[in-house]
Structure 1
Amino acid sequence: MMRVDAVQAQRVLVGDEFVPATVTFHHGRITGIEPVEHQTEGLVIRAPDSAYVVPGIVDTHVHVNEPGRTEWEGFVSATEAAALGGATTLIDMPLNSIPSTVTVDALRVKQDAARGELMVDVGFWGGAVPGNVAALEPLWEAGVFGFKCFLADSGVAEFPPLNPSEFLAALTEIARFDGLMIVHAEDAGVLAGAPNRPSRSYTDFVLSRPDEAETAAIQQVIDGARATGARVHILHLSSARALDRIKAARDEGLRITVETCPHYLCFAAETIPDAAPQFKCCPPIRDGGNREELWQALRDGVIDCIVSDHSPATAEEKERGGGDLQQAWGGVSGLQVGFSAVAQEARRRGIALSRVSHWMSRNTADFVGLGHKGRIEVGADADLAIYDTNVDFRIEATRLAHRNPISAYDGLRYGGRITRSIVRGNAIDVERPDHDWGRMLTRPAKEQQ
């Protein structure tokens, strides 16, 4: 880490516009946004003219898996990958680690595992599973940012799904203390009725996770929000068939938000090779027409934000079944790559980089109540990323920082990459990494949100 006092650039994202500016820091906070020619004492990073300075990415959907499955991903490797990709804040999912974060005691185990291993700031989601309704409010008071649940099999035995009555009971409790439920929305009954034979075909895999699985589950979430008044969030939306329902629910006044992911915006089912488990995720990557509808929903504000859903596993897990996509672990490793990939895809569609930044930084920060992150303004945390369009980013999975060298982005080239991340006024030096700088975050008190 290298403590810096200012960043100067010809393109700094202030509000909705890129302007020439000098951004000054003190004690980890932004203290001024001055003209670019402003002279300041101390150490100043001067970005090249081809670079854009954006707020650090706030990635609210990351599976770190430590403790218990640290061989899949741990805090050291995950936060280094985050820093290299411009993400200065992560919120860690409650499952795949052992124990799952479904009690306060389990949260403390997770926090102990993270201590001294963080290159960026990290907070934690709690989990809602059968039988832990009484644990939800204590977890909320202990500082989790909300509660994740599944409506179908999660893939790990220690984090079972909620059936409809259990889901409604958990929502009722969460509404009582005005918490937040985030939902993996695939319907167990629809999945059970879909064709699910062993197959190396990506087309067969998509047929096994049809659009109807998402639309039915999202309708259940909408109905639950209407019945209880709870605040709800749809995780990793894949199917554009659900967009009309989400818009109608929002127009009705229900408190519902939704995210999608870089892999749904960058890939299309018809171009994915068979027996390529690096592309497998649940819900699946769908066709190119669906992808364009997701982009339009972002433009229209129906989808609120973009997150990585970084969910790595060992080669053994990803290659289980020898190419049979029903057996392989589902999850895309994109934490280090997502911003560059989305920025290029947005550029192809004439979408401004400022909007990409809002979807990946400001909107995600606001979603979890971190109003001092995800923006470049006086008083905010001095979390910045420098994105240089004059530096190519050729993806080689073996050179990415996450623990296992598997990536759907392997071999791709992007015309722009993150060249520097700054966390609370400290420039990260990946050649001399310091994993004791990141802070553990807890949910801000409501009056501070």
Structure 2
Amino acid sequence: MTDIEYDLVVRGQRVLTDEGIDPREVGISGGRIAAVEPLGAGLAGREVIELAEDETLIPGLVDSHVHVNEPGRTEWEGFASATKAAAAGGVTTIIDMPLNSIPPTVSVDALNVKRRSAETQSFVDVGFWGGAIPGNTGDLRPLHEEGVFGFKCFLLHSGVDEFPHLEIDELEKDLAEIASFDGLMIVHAEDSQAIDHAPSAEGAVYERFLHSRPRGAENVAIAGVIERARWTGARAHILHLSSSDALAMIASAKRDGVKLTVETCPHYLTLLAEEIPDGATAFKCCPPIREASNRELLWKGLEDGVIDCIVSDHSPSTVDLKDPEHGDFGVAWGGVASLQLGLPLIWTEARQRGIPLERVVEWMGRRPAELARLQRKGHLAPGYDADLAVFAADETFVVDAEKLHHKNHITPYQGKSLSGVVRRTFVRGTEVDFSEPKGQLLRRGSA
């Protein structure tokens, strides 16, 4: 028994720390984890939570790829709805993409507009990516100094005209600039020329859409990113990898010392092109969901460490933009909304493969935190923020889009049975109550 009284103590048979899942007591003070002791240590707290036998205490997840879309397209999503969805899914930190908001986050002034939108609405902690577009090279360092976590660019049309893409020589120029202050460039890597030469996506046939975004478009673009990162010495990150063909060159680049990291997403790891019905535009995303054989190789890439992390690429829109009336893949918005569902989606698939919960939480928590250089996130350990989730790994549920916190209730996972329910979420030691937003805005270097 200690003489210290903590703000909160959580006790249970299953607490996931860096050493694995063990019986532990966790003491929390001032929003930080202050002590992790064996169960029975008798930590005293003003509030004490005893975990149920079927519950595991895990560090809160970090989702570094979220399109909140506010301001400008708040009808697609918004900080209140997005961060509620995050908390309900055990995600305690999100990093918001510089598009599809208006204005896009490509200058300090635009970043300040974004922050004002978020500061009173966020139920979890929120950081921001900046954007790299033609003509804003001079804005990159000021954005970095203002606390963005890195810069996103596209190598083909982004889908919105106010966020134009970089040509490969422009990418090299910006990488050189970013290398000068050890920033990070995160890249939507599909080659515009390869897409231009691919078949049209129009119509309701999913296979036709798949052929319109071939693996080769990813492979060529990723090769270009690797070489420019090699030449400039910059840190580069490949967003939402869907082509397993690229794994070999990614592994080779990493062995060569290129500063390269890679993510993939739940939809590429749980869905199959062969099972997508024609006209089912809820499944449309770019790059696309590919075949079963491709999915297996992505899982192997994760287990081998070639792919670093799993994030949502939560890219919602209004229901009408998905063109449900006609189911035309050439017209529908490309994006999957999955912020609330990521953990149960990946856990359901992982446990069938014999992959333990510890690996899943590493891929979805610690690794994204490392990518963004978040110093106090992603671990359940003394000194870290008390961002925690109570996870019932064996409880099952059926996805009902109407019950999700996402603003627009359309999902490719409708009716899917999943394992794993997040029962409680804590941000800095305070339980998210879904009525009073208490999340904080994060800046690079101070989070």
- Shorter-normalised TM-score: what interval? over 0.9
Are the aligned partners of 2:27 and 2:34 in contact in 1 as well (CA < 8 Å)?
yes
1:358 aligns with 2:371: no
Task: Name the counterpart of 1:266.
Answer: 270
Between stretches 164-173 and 19-28, larger displacement belongs to 164-173
Structure 1 unaligned spans of 5+? none
Which of residues 373, 398, 410 is equivalent to 1:369? 373
CA RMSD, aligned part only? Answer: 1.2
Which of residues 415, 419, 432 is equivalent to 2:419? 415
Q: CA deviation at 1:19?
A: 0.4
Are the aligned partners of 1:320 and 1:329 in contact in 2 as well (CA < 8 Å)?
no
Are the aligned partners of 1:7 and 1:23 in contact in 2 as well (CA < 8 Å)?
yes
Are the aligned partners of 2:132 and 2:151 in contact in 1 as well (CA < 8 Å)?
yes
Task: Name the counterpart of 1:216.
Answer: 220
Q: CA deviation at 1:389?
A: 2.5
Task: Name the counterpart of 2:440.
Answer: 439
Task: Name the counterpart of 1:196.
Answer: 200
Aligned equivalents of 1:234, 1:390: Cα separation in 2: 33
> What amino acid does structure 1 have at the position aligned with 2:409?
P
Write out the 4+ residue segments of structure 1 that deviate beyond 3 Å after TM superposition.
none
Aligned equivalents of 2:383, 2:436: Cα separation in 1: 25
1:65 aligns with 2:69: yes
Aligned equivalents of 2:324, 2:282: Cα separation in 1: 12
SS of residue in 2 equivalent to 1:89? strand
Q: CA deviation at 1:344?
A: 1.1
Task: Name the counterpart of 1:92.
Answer: 96
Q: CA deviation at 1:45?
A: 1.7
CA separation of 1:129/1:320 partners in 2, compared to 1, >3 Å: closer, same or farther?
farther
CA separation of 1:197/1:279 partners in 2, compared to 1, >3 Å: closer, same or farther?
closer
Matches within 5 A, 1:277-296: 277-296=281-300
Q: CA deviation at 1:316?
A: 1.4
Are the aligned partners of 1:151 and 1:185 in contact in 2 as well (CA < 8 Å)?
yes
Q: CA deviation at 1:28?
A: 0.3
Matches within 5 A, 1:166-181: 166-181=170-185
Q: CA deviation at 1:4?
A: 5.8
Between stretches 406-415 and 22-31, larger displacement belongs to 406-415
1:119 aligns with 2:123: yes
Are the aligned partners of 1:321 and 1:327 in contact in 2 as well (CA < 8 Å)?
no
Are the aligned partners of 1:4 and 1:45 in contact in 2 as well (CA < 8 Å)?
no
Which of residues 154, 158, 169 is equivalent to 1:154? 158
Are the aligned partners of 2:281 and 2:324 in contact in 1 as well (CA < 8 Å)?
no
CA separation of 1:56/1:197 partners in 2, compared to 1, >3 Å: closer, same or farther?
closer
Task: Name the counterpart of 1:426.
Answer: 430
1:136 aligns with 2:131: no
Q: CA deviation at 1:392?
A: 1.8
Task: Name the counterpart of 2:8.
Answer: 5
Which of residues 27, 32, 53 is equivalent to 2:30? 27
1:327-363 Cα deviation digits (max 9, x unpaired):
1000000000010110110000000110000000011
Task: Name the counterpart of 1:79.
Answer: 83
> What amino acid does structure 2 have at the position aligned with 1:96?
N
SS of residue in 1 equivalent to 2:45? coil
Are the aligned partners of 2:201 and 2:329 in contact in 1 as well (CA < 8 Å)?
no
Which of residues 345, 349, 353 is equivalent to 1:345? 349
> What amino acid does structure 1 have at the position aligned with 2:271?
F
Aligned equivalents of 1:310, 1:177: Cα separation in 2: 29
Q: CA deviation at 1:421?
A: 0.6
Structure 2 unaligned spans of 5+? 1-5
**Identity in percent:** 53
Q: CA deviation at 1:38?
A: 3.3
The alignment covers a number of residue pairs equal to 441
CA separation of 1:202/1:16 partners in 2, compared to 1, >3 Å: closer, same or farther?
farther
Aligned equivalents of 2:257, 2:120: Cα separation in 1: 43
> What amino acid does structure 2 have at the position aligned with 1:102?
V
Aligned equivalents of 1:390, 1:443: Cα separation in 2: 36
Which of residues 7, 10, 17 is equivalent to 1:14? 17
Aligned equivalents of 2:177, 2:56: Cα separation in 1: 44
Aligned equivalents of 1:333, 1:16: Cα separation in 2: 33
CA separation of 1:408/1:143 partners in 2, compared to 1, >3 Å: closer, same or farther?
same
> What amino acid does structure 2 have at the position aligned with 1:373?
K
Task: Name the counterpart of 2:314.
Answer: 310
Which of residues 29, 40, 43 is equivalent to 1:37? 40
CA separation of 1:157/1:389 partners in 2, compared to 1, >3 Å: closer, same or farther?
same
Aligned equivalents of 1:421, 1:276: Cα separation in 2: 33
CA separation of 1:418/1:4 partners in 2, compared to 1, >3 Å: closer, same or farther?
farther
Aligned equivalents of 1:76, 1:139: Cα separation in 2: 24
Between stretches 122-131 and 13-22, larger displacement belongs to 13-22
Q: TM-score, normalised by structure 2?
A: 0.97
Are the aligned partners of 2:72 and 2:103 in contact in 1 as well (CA < 8 Å)?
yes
Aligned equivalents of 2:318, 2:201: Cα separation in 1: 24
Task: Name the counterpart of 1:257.
Answer: 261
Aligned equivalents of 2:160, 2:59: Cα separation in 1: 35
Aligned equivalents of 1:41, 1:17: Cα separation in 2: 24
Aligned equivalents of 1:168, 1:31: Cα separation in 2: 44
Are the aligned partners of 1:4 and 1:427 in contact in 2 as well (CA < 8 Å)?
no
Aligned equivalents of 1:119, 1:393: Cα separation in 2: 24
Task: Name the counterpart of 2:50.
Answer: 46
Which of residues 395, 398, 404 is equivalent to 2:399? 395
Aligned equivalents of 2:53, 2:41: Cα separation in 1: 17
1:253-312 Cα deviation digits (max 9, x unpaired):
000000000110001100111111111100001001110101011100000000000000
Q: CA deviation at 1:35?
A: 2.0
Q: CA deviation at 1:393?
A: 2.1
Q: CA deviation at 1:409?
A: 1.1
1:384-425 Cα deviation digits (max 9, x unpaired):
111103422211001100100011111111122111111000
> What amino acid does structure 2 have at the position aligned with 1:291?
R
Aligned equivalents of 2:353, 2:325: Cα separation in 1: 38
Aligned equivalents of 1:333, 1:6: Cα separation in 2: 34
Aligned equivalents of 1:45, 1:199: Cα separation in 2: 54
CA separation of 1:232/1:17 partners in 2, compared to 1, >3 Å: closer, same or farther?
same
CA separation of 1:321/1:220 partners in 2, compared to 1, >3 Å: closer, same or farther?
farther
